[in-house]
Amino acid sequence: MLRQVINVLLRAAVPFAATASPALAHHAMDYAQPVTALEGLLSGLGHPVIGVDYLLFVLGAGVLAARAKRGQLLPLLFVAASVAVAGMRYLGVSVDLGEL
């Protein structure tokens, strides 16, 4: 039953993700992107506090990691991907469709 509910939710979420507009995630910083590493760190730590959607993402990632084999790798993979994309953006590479 739970598996069916998850399948329905995932199928419903795909069209919404495909039409997502660019995120304005740094509203606590007047929508400005972090300039220094410290600002980026503080912004990242503050995200689950300033937005319930961020908190739900962190909790969902924790549940997935707890239920998956070798789940401890999921958060590490997410952090590695985030650092890689941040580095690419720092180097001037355009990273489109990040919301997907």
Q: Is the whole model's pTM more than 0.85, yes or no?
A: no
Any idea of the CA torsion for 73, 8, 59, 43, to the nearest 10 degrees?
Answer: 90
Average pLDDT over residues 50-57: 78
In this prediction, residue 59 carries a pLDDT of: 85
Element holding 23 (H helix, E strand): none
In the numeric block, the tokens 């707890």 are attached to 66
12-39 pLDDT per residue, tens: 777 777 776 666 555 666 667 777 888 8
Residue 68, in any domain of the structure = yes
Distance of CA 67 to the CA centre of its chain: 19
- Our count of domains for the chain comes to 1
- Domain extent, residue 96, equals 23-100
